[in-house]
Structure 1
Amino acid sequence: MSGAAKWTAVLGGGALVLAAPFLAPAFVTQLAFLWLMIVFAQTWDLMGGQLGYNSFGNIFFFGIGVYACAVLQRDAGLSYYEGLFAGLALAGVLAAASAAFLGLGILGLRGHYFAIGTLGLGIAGGEIAAGTPYLGAGSGIVPPLFPGELQARGLFFYFAFAALTLATFFTLRWLYTTRFGLALNAIRDDEDKAEAMGLHTTRLKTLAWSLSAFFLGIAGGLAGNLIGFVDPRDVAFAGATFGVWMILMAILGGKGTLWGPVIGAVIFHVTQELFWTYLLGWQRVALGLLIVVIVVFFPQGILGALKERYPDRFARRDAA
């Protein structure tokens, strides 16, 4: 693609992002959740695709962000916007710090041992939150109300999620071109050889998990305010929904690629919304069938299938 074509695509995409909530005002909330799904898929792929460590516990960091932001907004006595932005900063920092602390132990495990080790994180987080009165226990927390009209609220969170998604995307895009990104791929391809070459693999894995958790924590803080109610098991630590979806979206689009998680998130979210609209009562059955189709027919994802079908085109693009 020429330079002019790239700039045309960038400007066209930017215009679409800005215009989407005004072109489809009835779907602003769904569009905001679409940005959230993209963040889910991108942050999971940093570990599962680029690093080769399939984590089932990333929802834990999302839940930490949800509660950190909601509790600070509730107790700090700040205005809505001051409390929100302070809460988002705290959410990102706490989530990243939790990943750094846990990673030093859990990331010493490999393969299915790591996957099993992370599986209980989200469940444990939900049970701890549900049993802690300070966090609302099983009754949950209601974040402060947005100080504006409903339409303004939708637009605010749409653009907040869009900004977070773009920040995540371009941060990862830059990261994958650095030596750090190459080190992550080396660990994925052969961790023993990477260690033999002098790489501190546990330290690198922990840094990657912390970066993923940072963006997930901020996403959690925004999501809690957008939903308007924080339930410990169904919102904050929703491993059976959000925790599974982030894995499926990355797999559907293509693990270990920059655009694969984005494509997978868009297709999955749109399909899910159609199920909820036209298959009410059977939507979970249809979603289960979709999951089976993804695993059976797209084991390498959409981009992986395209690379197998058109290897010459992708080889020329990668070389460029």
Structure 2
Amino acid sequence: MRNGAARLTGYLVLLAAGLAAPFLFPAYQSQMAELWLFIVFALTWDLIGGQMGYNSFGNVVFLGVGMYACALTQVGLFYDVSLYNQARGGGATIFTFDWQQYLEGLAVGLPVGAALAALTAAFLGSLVLGMRGQYFAICTLGLGIAAGEIANGWDWIGAGSGMVPPNAPDAIGNLARFYYYFAMVLAVLTFLVLRRLYATHFGLAINAIRDDEDKAESMGLRTTRIKVTAWIISAFFLGIAGGIMGNLKRFIDPVDTAFAGPTFGVWMVLMAILGGKGTLWGPVIGAIIFQVFKEVSWTYLLGWQRVALGLLIVLIVVFFPQGIMGFLRERFPARFGHRIESDSPAAVTQERAG
């Protein structure tokens, strides 16, 4: 009871800090909004790469699908999409949105982005999740590249010229703060859903696939169905994150923003590994450290930012192969490790949920 109360208090303190952060640090609202989205990136990748053991480089596909689907829905509810993109995102004064239209577009666009991303995961998963190991990783890498090239040549969505999401009306106020809270709610919801999911039989099933998929199949688990379901869950949250990211960035480039494998696609893997893949809090910690490092290098290492990020990748792989959470479990097993004596069903469930 005491541990539960302390944990609840900790969560409430973190929530209060998150709510107050835009007012305490107004100059960094966009960066903090991006941080919440990075937490979603890392958590959803870890569902596949950490908890299930399938290293995917294709999760960026779902981010891009959600990004485009949301923006196109926001526009398509009120204007002709082709004309809008020919005008390069509302360069003409006729493509204006009042606050009701803008909010209505978001209310419809974000769920559409999530749904289309989930459907994409269901379709692709049924095709590629029969592969294993490096074959699956290489295939998903190709999916991300292919998606970027398709979007790059599709005139209806802006092709290589990109797409500008609807301009927010003045009534919306501070746009960075507006999307900060959208991103925060999404990150908290993703965390809570995955925390609950990992404490269920489904969580045990994806861990069994990671540990020994052949043995899991021999025990009667429908591994392909489970893998596809996990990818759909990951894609659902990434689709919403894509819709928020597109509006936050204010411009959707098919290769550098939507299907940005060299940046977002790699970063979500890096953040999960940095914090400790296969854990609940590891991706969160990794996302925070990575975002802080990225912003500091962008500020003080002008021209050398990508070199610094590359060195960070090397350092993580060499010195933190198990991530920060893995390091803490080795140093403080009584606090962060798995206790052998606590292997009753109730204790295991509580350990996994925490």
Q: 2:251 aligns with which of 212, 222, 229?
A: 229
Q: Deviations over 1:24-60 (max 9, x none)?
A: 0000000000001100100000000000000010000
Matched residue SS, 1:255? coil
Q: How do residues 1-320 of structure 1 correspond to structure 2 at under 5 angstroms?
A: 2-77=3-78, 79-148=101-170, 152-315=174-337, 319=342
Identity value in percent: 64
Amino acid in structure 2 at the alignment position of 1:225: N
Determine the C-alpha separation between the residues in 2 that align with 1:204 and 1:191.
11
Q: Deviations over 1:46-80 (max 9, x none)?
A: 00000000001000010000110111112111811
Amino acid in structure 1 at the alignment position of 2:34: F
Determine the C-alpha separation between the residues in 1 that align with 2:338 and 2:132.
34
Amino acid in structure 1 at the alignment position of 2:29: V
Amino acid in structure 2 at the alignment position of 1:273: E
- Cα shift at 1:150: 8.1
- Cα shift at 1:154: 1.4
Determine the C-alpha separation between the residues in 2 that align with 1:316 and 1:197.
25
> Which deviates further from its counterpart, 1-10 or 176-185?
1-10
- Cα shift at 1:292: 0.7
Q: Indicate if the aligned counterparts of 2:330 and 2:337 stay in contact, CA closer than 8 A.
A: no
The answer for unaligned runs of 5 or more in structure 1 is none
Determine the C-alpha separation between the residues in 1 that align with 2:71 and 2:209.
37
Determine the C-alpha separation between the residues in 1 that align with 2:339 and 2:190.
23
Matched residue SS, 1:229? coil
Q: Indicate if the aligned counterparts of 2:276 and 2:324 stay in contact, CA closer than 8 A.
A: yes
TM-score normalised according to structure 1 size: 0.97
Matched residue SS, 2:170? coil
Amino acid in structure 1 at the alignment position of 2:212: D
TM-score normalised according to structure 2 size: 0.88
- Cα shift at 1:255: 0.6
- Cα shift at 1:285: 1.1
- Cα shift at 1:306: 1.2
Aligned length: 320
Determine the C-alpha separation between the residues in 2 that align with 1:257 and 1:8.
21
Matched residue SS, 1:79? helix
Matched residue SS, 2:174? helix
Determine the C-alpha separation between the residues in 2 that align with 1:30 and 1:14.
18
Determine the C-alpha separation between the residues in 1 that align with 2:187 and 2:64.
18
Amino acid in structure 1 at the alignment position of 2:228: T
Amino acid in structure 1 at the alignment position of 2:274: L
Determine the C-alpha separation between the residues in 2 that align with 1:98 and 1:71.
17
Determine the C-alpha separation between the residues in 1 that align with 2:203 and 2:172.
42
Determine the C-alpha separation between the residues in 2 that align with 1:316 and 1:206.
29
Amino acid in structure 1 at the alignment position of 2:101: S
Determine the C-alpha separation between the residues in 2 that align with 1:4 and 1:109.
44
- Cα shift at 1:122: 1.1
Bigger CA radius of gyration: 2
Matched residue SS, 1:144? coil
Determine the C-alpha separation between the residues in 2 that align with 1:263 and 1:168.
15
- Cα shift at 1:10: 1.9
Amino acid in structure 1 at the alignment position of 2:321: P
Q: Indicate if the aligned counterparts of 2:172 and 2:178 stay in contact, CA closer than 8 A.
A: no
The answer for unaligned runs of 5 or more in structure 2 is 79-99, 348-354
Determine the C-alpha separation between the residues in 2 that align with 1:163 and 1:206.
26
- Cα shift at 1:3: 3.2
